[in-house]
Structure 1
Amino acid sequence: MALQVIPQIANLRARLAQEDSIAFVPTMGNLHAGHIHLVELARQRAECVVASIFVNPLQFGANEDLANYPRTLAEDCEKLQAAGADIVFTPSVEEMYPTEQTMRITPPPIANELCGAARPGHFDGVATVVMKLFSIVQPQIAVFGKKDFQQLFIIRELVRQFNLPIEIVAGETQREHSGLALSSRNGYLNDGQKLEAQRLYRTLKLIVDNVQKGNRDYAAIEAQSSQYLTQLGWIVDYVSIRSAATLMPASPDDRDLVALAAARQGSTRLIDNIEFSV
């Protein structure tokens, strides 16, 4: 069955009125194998799979790459068709925000740490657009990737605190053979930067190995890892060991942990994480 491309909210709602089993995969387009993995997970969980492609201006800061964000709708639709999606929702900014969006979702304070510290207001924009998309699509299941671990945590809180009848399914991070996490922003890297970008994942693996061997001086591990990357020319936003359950800084009593990092190669900001237990 051909993929249906629907840009209007009213038309999408009319089309979905006949469906009672909907899985939803929100994206900003420029799709790669990581996104397609999420669509395939959705395909396993519901009769009707809806993806959205919307570059959300609310989550971009003043000096971020909104205007230059890659828009590849034709190629994206081919990939969604091949992955088994039924519908792609492709609203314009005017369709999603017909008037100024003065009503916003304010996430909990954790949104101001980690990625939120370097991107103030980012998660307000994410939470607001996700709430709007959930309201429009009204899925029973929504699928998000673990690569954006903080985003996944905040969306789970959104669903829990607003009692939304939506199951959040988390897709594992998809990687290149080198270990580099797939990301739309990898396309900004030149050959040398892409080779160096593998080091972010390797650094996280070293952190995991260090902790699992018994080192609980998390602050020292974080500082050493950050210094290591900085000496190699990275611009480091953070390296952090957190509780996987709360995203608060890990204590020696925590057993389920996540090591997270965000750093820049040139002007390209890369993020990654590894969940692990001790």
Structure 2
Amino acid sequence: RKLAGPKGAVVVTIFVNKTQFGVSEDFGRYPRALKRDMALCRGLGVDIVFAPSDEAIYTVRHSTFVVESRLAKLMEGASRPTHFRGVTTVVTKLFNLVQPHAAVFGAKDWQQAVVIRQITGDLNFPVRVVIAPTIREHDGLAMSSRNEHLSPAERAQSTVLYEIIRAARTAVKNATTPLPASVLRRKLARFVGKQHLAKLDYIEFFHPTTLEPAKRVGRGTHLALAVFLGKTRLIDNGRL
């Protein structure tokens, strides 16, 4: 609303994009609550909700994809090889259909936002990409649609993601020189090892703008991680 100004319109797009899910991932069980989402948008004064059908976005003969070939290979791209191809394709479609002046993406999906900024510049979209702060629950868990899949026991252990970010920040703050990434990664991984329902996918350190992996970790380095709680995969990140 702040970006739109008093004369602008706020458009919210709601679309569960099948092409960013891998074959064995959770597309079928991904939360869909259009009525609830519409009510939330109405209460927040959203002007337009754009909620297209699958058929409207991907016709039967659809065969064109948009691929970012550098940033999308890291982290989430390494764990989910077809994920960003789906993200960049659907964002390109939505930019073409909605034609916004600015588009807001959440910082929880930091790599996604950086990849989208890259394709926006590369493809000359006249769109300003804004990264909004991560919204967290009272105990630090980043808000996510997937959180509703967590059992009570898994939910209790899900705070380990934010605990790792906080521990990394403390380690960097207390260090007199940048820390070796490999050493810090091993120390942080132990937090996950203490949670019997949790399984670590990755912990990575990198430059926040270029996503260049960091061999040494200091103030300003960015951390991202992915953790499985049972069958539910959660991600988070933060600046150190």
Place the TM-score, normalised by the shorter chain, in its bin.
over 0.9
TM-score, reference length from structure 1: 0.80
| Partner of residue 69, structure 2 | 108
The CA deviation string for residues 130-183 of structure 1, in whole angstroms up to 9 with x for no partner, is 000000011000000000001001001011111211001111000011011000
CA–CA distance in structure 2, aligned partners of residues 105 and 261 of structure 1: 25
| Partner of residue 247, structure 1 | 211
The CA deviation string for residues 70-97 of structure 1, in whole angstroms up to 9 with x for no partner, is 2111111000011111111111111111
CA–CA distance in structure 2, aligned partners of residues 61 and 105 of structure 1: 16
CA–CA distance in structure 1, aligned partners of residues 199 and 211 of structure 2: 23
- Unaligned runs of 5+ residues in structure 2 are none
Out of 186, 199, 203, the residue aligned to residue 223 of structure 1 is 186
Provide closer, same or farther for how the CA distance between residues 266 and 109 of structure 1 changes in structure 2, counting only shifts above 3 A: same
TM-fit CA distance, 1:101:
2.9
| Partner of residue 204, structure 1 | 165
The list of structure 1 runs, each at least 4 consecutive aligned residues, that deviate by more than 6 angstroms after superposition, is none
| Partner of residue 86, structure 1 | 47
Provide closer, same or farther for how the CA distance between residues 254 and 107 of structure 1 changes in structure 2, counting only shifts above 3 A: farther
- Match of 1:77, as an amino acid? M
Provide closer, same or farther for how the CA distance between residues 206 and 139 of structure 1 changes in structure 2, counting only shifts above 3 A: same
| Partner of residue 269, structure 1 | 233
CA–CA distance in structure 2, aligned partners of residues 57 and 152 of structure 1: 19
TM-fit CA distance, 1:121:
0.7
| Partner of residue 96, structure 1 | 57
Tell me how many residue pairs correspond in the alignment. 237
CA–CA distance in structure 2, aligned partners of residues 45 and 146 of structure 1: 25
Provide closer, same or farther for how the CA distance between residues 237 and 45 of structure 1 changes in structure 2, counting only shifts above 3 A: farther
Which of the pair has the greater relative contact order for Cα pairs under 8 Å at 6+ separation?
A: 1
Provide closer, same or farther for how the CA distance between residues 82 and 148 of structure 1 changes in structure 2, counting only shifts above 3 A: same
Provide closer, same or farther for how the CA distance between residues 217 and 201 of structure 1 changes in structure 2, counting only shifts above 3 A: same
The CA deviation string for residues 214-249 of structure 1, in whole angstroms up to 9 with x for no partner, is 241111111221243134232111011111121111
| Partner of residue 109, structure 2 | 148
SS of match in other structure, 1:270: strand
Provide closer, same or farther for how the CA distance between residues 137 and 218 of structure 1 changes in structure 2, counting only shifts above 3 A: same
CA RMSD of aligned residues (A): 1.8
TM-score, reference length from structure 2: 0.93
TM-fit CA distance, 1:253:
8.7
Provide closer, same or farther for how the CA distance between residues 248 and 185 of structure 1 changes in structure 2, counting only shifts above 3 A: same
